[in-house]
Chains A and B, each alone.
Chain A
Amino acid sequence: MQLGEPRRASSLRGRLTQAVCVVLAAQAGAAGASSAADVTGTASGSGTGDEAPKWQFDAAGLVYGEAGRAKVVEPNARITRLFANGARLSGTLGLDLVTGASPTGGIASTEIHTTTSASGRVKTDAVGIVPTNQFQDHRGSLDLEWTQPYTRWLTTSFGSHVSREKDYRSLGGSGKVSFSLMRGLLTFNVGGGYDSDEVEPTGGVRVPLSDGTLLEDGAVRAKHSRTALIGLSRVLSRRWMVGVDVTRMEEDGYLTEPYKVVSVVDPETGDPVSELTESRPSTRLRHDLLASSVYHFDTDILYASQRFYWDDWGIVSTTTDLKYRKDLYDDRYIEPHIRFYAQSKADFFHYSLVQNEDLPRYASADGRLGTLRTATLGATYGFRLPDRPGEWAVRAEYMSQWGSGHPTDAIGNQQNVDLAPPVSIGSVVVAYSLRF
Chain B
Amino acid sequence: MKSPRVQERRLLILALSALLLSGCASMDVQPWDRDLLAEEAMSFSPEPMVTAIDNHIYFSKEGSTGGQEVGGGGCGCN
Contact = CB atoms under 8 A, between A and B. Distances in A.
Interface of A: 13, 16-17, 20-21, 23-24, 27-28, 30-37, 39-42, 58-60, 62, 64, 74, 76, 78, 92, 94, 98, 139, 141, 143, 159, 161, 163, 165, 167-168, 170-176, 183, 185, 191-195, 197, 199, 227-229, 231-239, 241-247, 249, 257, 286-292, 294, 296, 301, 303, 305, 307-312, 314-317, 319, 325, 341, 343-344, 346-347, 368-369, 372, 374, 380, 393, 395, 399, 401, 425, 427, 429, 431
Given A60-B53, A291-B16, A427-B57, A235 B37 contact: yes
A289 B13 CA distance: 8
Contact of B76 (A172, A174, A199): A199
Given A227-B70, A242-B20, 19 more contacts: A16-B32, A24-B38, A27-B38, A36-B42, A74-B56, A92-B49, A163-B74, A185-B27, A233-B44, A237-B29, A238-B29, A288-B64, A288-B67, A289-B9, A290-B67, A309-B65, A310-B1, A316-B1, A316-B6
Contact of B21 (A35, A194, A232, A395): A232
Given A37-B38, A236-B27, A288-B64, A229 B50 contact: no
A234 B20 contact: yes
A35 B53 contact: no
A210 B62 CA distance: 26
Contacts of B77: 98
Contacts of A13: 32
B63 A231 contact: no
A195 B71 contact: yes
A76 B72 CA distance: 14
Contact of B1 (A314, A399, A425): A314
Contact of B44 (A34, A173, A344, A380): A34
B17 A141 contact: no
Contacts, number: 255
Contacts of A172: 71-72, 74
A17 B16 CA distance: 33
A239 B76 CA distance: 41
B63 A76 contact: no
A125 to B, nearest CB: 22
Given A36-B38, A301-B42, A316-B2, A368 B53 contact: no
A19 to B, nearest CB: 8
B65 to A, nearest CB: 7
A109 B67 CA distance: 38
14 contacts: A17-B31, A27-B38, A32-B48, A40-B37, A175-B70, A233-B44, A234-B24, A237-B27, A244-B13, A286-B64, A307-B66, A310-B2, A315-B64, A393-B50
Contacts of A176: 70
Contacts of B53: 60, 62, 74, 76, 429
Nearest to A316: B2
B32 A316 contact: no
Interface in B16-56: 16-17, 20-21, 24, 27-50, 52-53, 56
B49 A241 contact: no
A31 B70 contact: no
Contact of A301 (B41, B48, B75): B41
A40 B38 contact: yes
Contacts of B2: 310, 314, 316, 344
Contact of B61 (A191, A241, A368): A368
B71 A64 contact: no
A262 B71 CA distance: 31
A310 B6 contact: yes
B31 A20 contact: yes
B50 A431 contact: yes
B13 A194 contact: no
Contacts of A431: 47, 49-50
Contacts of B13: 244, 246, 289, 308
Given A236-B27, A401-B61, A161 B74 contact: yes
A97 B62 CA distance: 20
A250 B1 CA distance: 16
B64 A34 contact: no
Contacts of A78: 49
Contacts of A185: 27-29
Nearest to B46: A32
Contacts of A307: 64, 66-67
